[in-house]
Amino acid sequence: MRRAFDFLDPFLTDLSPRLKLIATTSQLEALIAVKEAGNFTLAARRLGLAQPTVHRAVTQLEAEAAKPLFERTSYGTIATKPAIALANAARLAFAELFQAEVDLAETRSEEAGKIAIGAMPLSRSFLLPRAIAEFRLSRPKVTIQIVEGPYADLLAGLRRGEIDFLIGALREPAPIGDVEQRFLFNDTIAIVAGNAHPLLQEAPLTIEKLAAFPWVVGLHGTPIRQQFDRLFEPCNCRPTALVESSSLILMRELLLTTDHLGCISYRQAQAELTRG
């Protein structure tokens, strides 16, 4: 409980000292919803409330703060910097309170709560299925939510308290000071191709030959994409036909039906290799 208020109180006080005493859960939930939806009507729909109710809750916060928390523009309703800071702090506070409820349930030997995992491509195919299966042996009823998306979006969700932890390739250095990274295992990259790819009949393979084919590769900024780009630096040649995607399904289908090559982590490729 104390941690929740430690997150929230400084941002409420910055807007108005009285808000620390009078701000309600409903007002803060409305603030979060409008900030994320960028629209009062969409925010109300998300909360299951009438639009005037959500508008009134935000207006009450603005009246106490004596300043607007949102700018109404032709592009939508845009949160001001103080509103963004307060909404993020409120999300973290709500996450702490929810975790407190889960901890209390633990003391009563009850299963409760939800685990939200930000899952990057490697974890979805290699680590998470086994971990979830093992976790289910002791916690058969806890809801597990797998959140997929670009690393930047998952990191933002983690810092807002929407995601409990991320599993994927480490970023070096760590992306920001309030994030802790822990090493789990080593991996390497592999070049993969369909069973009928013409390069399978050629020896030896060279970087120049690899560069002549189209590729399915990770997005810019991902660790595996950095490794892929370094592969072609020594010969000063680079593939010109790239499909940038983190989808293993897309890579598999392109490799099976075309002459594309893929750059992927070896552990992620293992499941595909065992299936032929």
Q: What is the pLDDT of residue 1?
A: 64
Q: What is the pLDDT of residue 98?
A: 74
Query: Is the domain defined by 113-185 classed in CATH 1.10.3720.10?
Result: no
CB atoms within 10 A of CB 156: 15
Q: Are 260 and 239 in contact (CB under 8 A)?
A: no
Amino acid at 208: E
Q: What is the pLDDT of residue 100?
A: 67
pTM: 0.62
Residue whose C-alpha is closest to residue 68's, from 55, 58, 54? 58
For the segment(s) 2-93, the CATH number from 1.10.1030.10, 1.10.10.10, 3.30.2090.10, 3.40.50.300 is: 1.10.10.10
Q: What is the pLDDT of residue 110?
A: 63
Query: Under 8 Å CB-to-CB from 211, ≥6 apart: which residues?
Result: 232, 235, 237, 238, 239
Same fold, 2-93 and 189-274: no
The phi, psi pair for 261, rounded to 5°, reads -105, 160
Q: What is the pLDDT of residue 103?
A: 64
For the segment(s) 189-274, the CATH number from 3.30.565.10, 1.10.20.10, 3.40.190.290, 3.30.70.2740 is: 3.40.190.290
Q: What is the pLDDT of residue 53?
A: 95
Split the chain (276 residues) into runs of 10 and give each run's mean pLDDT: 75 86 91 91 93 94 91 86 90 78 65 81 84 89 87 86 87 82 88 91 86 92 88 84 90 93 89 79
Domain ranges of the chain: 2-93, 113-185, 189-274
